[in-house]
Amino acid sequence: VNHEPDHRLDFHRSARIGHAEAVYSEGKTLDHLAAIVTEAAARNESLLLTRLAEPQHRALRARVALAMDYDALSRTAIVGAPRAPQGADDAVLIVAAGTSDLPVAAEAQRTLAFHGVSASRIADVGVAGLHRLMPVLPRLERASVVLVCAGMDAALPSVIGGLVRAVVIAVPTSVGYGVAAGGTTALHACLASCASGITVVNIDNGFGAACAAMRVLSGAARLATP
C-alpha cells in the first residue's frame, strides 16, 4: 500500500506567476480526477480542467456531486467561479485560420475567460483567401496580443506578423493529413516564419497561448506602473 499523496495542487501559483492551477485531464484516471476536483471544492478554490473528453466528463459527473461548467468544443470544465472580468475588451484577439482550428481557439478563449480576460474569436480567415482577412485587419492592428491558431501549412501567423505590431503568438494545430497530420508541419512553419518576432507554443496548446497572453498583460501592467 502507498501512503504518499498522488497529487499536490499548486494553489500558490496565482500569487507567484499570475495564473491559477489547471489540470491537464488526458490520461488521468477517474480516481485521480475525482480526488483533485473534490479537494479543490473542499478548499473552495476554482479550478480549470483542460482536455477533458466528453466520456471523462460524464464519468466524473456521475462520481462527484459538484457543479461544473463544461464546454464540449474546447473540452474544458470550470469548477468554482471564474475571476471577474477585467481589462479592455479585445486587448487579446484569437484568430482561427479555419473552422477546424476552432477547438484550439476555444480552449484559449475559455482559459482567458476563467482568468477574467475577455477575448474575441475570429474564424476562417486563412491565407487561401486573403480577402477574408482584410476586413478584420483594423481590429488586429488595435490589439496588444494576437493568438493565431492554424494547422496544415500555418501560413497565417507569418502574414499577420508582417502586418501588425502586436505580440503574435502562433498556436499550430494538428489539423490536416499526410505531412500535416499531427501538426508538426504547422509547428515548424511557425518557428521558421519569415515574419520577425513571432513566438510559438506547442501543437494544439490553446491553454498555453492564453497563459502567455496573460504574462504579456501582466508585464505591460508592471511597465506602466514603475
Interface residues for a second copy in 18-37 (CB under 8 A)?
A: 18-19, 22, 24, 26-29, 32, 36
Contact between 164 and a second copy by CB under 8 A: the answer reads yes
Contact between 196 and a second copy by CB under 8 A: the answer reads yes
Residue window 139-158: x/- pattern of binding to a second copy, with contact defined by CB under 8 A: -----xx------xxxx--x
Of positions 52, 140, 149, 201, contacts a second copy by CB under 8 A: 201
Of positions 47, 56, 107, 161, contacts a second copy by CB under 8 A: 161
Contact between 218 and a second copy by CB under 8 A: the answer reads yes
What grid cell was written down for 122? 475570429
What's the rounded Cα separation, in Å, for the pair 78 and 82? 7
Which residues in 66-95 contact a second copy (CB under 8 A)?
73, 88, 91
Contact between 118 and a second copy by CB under 8 A: the answer reads no
Contact between 110 and a second copy by CB under 8 A: the answer reads no
Closest CB 49 distance from a second copy, rounded Å: 13
Which residues in 174-193 contact a second copy (CB under 8 A)?
174-193
